Amino acid sequence: MVEMMITVAISGSVLVALLSVYLSCAQSWHRTSLSINTTQEAAHCLDQMIYGVGTGLGLRASSSVTNWGTATNWVLRSSNIYEVAWYNYNPGKTIVTFSNAAGSRVIGTNIITSSVTATVNSVNIALTVRKSDGRYSETNTVRTFVKIRAPLTQ
């Protein structure tokens, strides 16, 4: 009987230790997954701004970029030989939208803060994305610098 009690006690201790390790790993995986997701969301928004949305050309192909808003509540006007496009950060809705003659669409969500500095030949953009899932919340900031190229010619 004593041997059975010792066996049950040892087995119980091992199970508690294994459960603790499992829960710790599950929490770590969940937080890492959420962190990766926020980074990917911010990077995807910047990619669409830089390289284009649909058939529209992005900031990289612009001949001029002007900020019609402020540094933190910005509206970028991008023009090239083919079109004029608008990138708008709405801090109240935490979104970035893209607009051109063909229409408008959301290209970034969950963006809690953003800043833009536009000069004659460059644009600095920073996006901070926050996502929450249950008791976990992650925030990541992604930045980029875009050099405005010489105007395209036909």
Task: Give the global pTM.
Answer: 0.81
**pLDDT tens digits along 65-118:** 889 988 788 999 998 888 899 999 999 999 999 999 889 999 999 999 999 998
- On the question of pLDDT at 11 being above 80, the answer is yes
pLDDT band at 119 (very low <50, low <70, confident <90, very high): confident
**pLDDT tens digits along 26-38:** 999 989 999 999 9
- On the question of pLDDT at 152 being above 70, the answer is no
- On the question of pLDDT at 56 being above 90, the answer is no
What pLDDT score was predicted for residue 154?
47
Q: Domain locations in the chain?
A: 2-147
- Rounded to whole angstroms, what are the CA distances from 61 to 22, 56, 71, 74? 49, 10, 22, 20
What pLDDT score was predicted for residue 97?
96
Per residue in 107-131, is it b (16+ CB within 10 Å) or e — as a string? bbebbeebbbebeeeebebbbbbbb
- On the question of pLDDT at 129 being above 90, the answer is yes
What pLDDT score was predicted for residue 151?
55
Q: What is the mean pLDDT of residues 28-49?
A: 93
pLDDT band at 133 (very low <50, low <70, confident <90, very high): confident
What pLDDT score was predicted for residue 140?
94
| CA atoms within a 13 Å half-sphere pointing along the CA-CB vector of 87 | 32
Is the model more confident about 71 or about 142?
Answer: 142
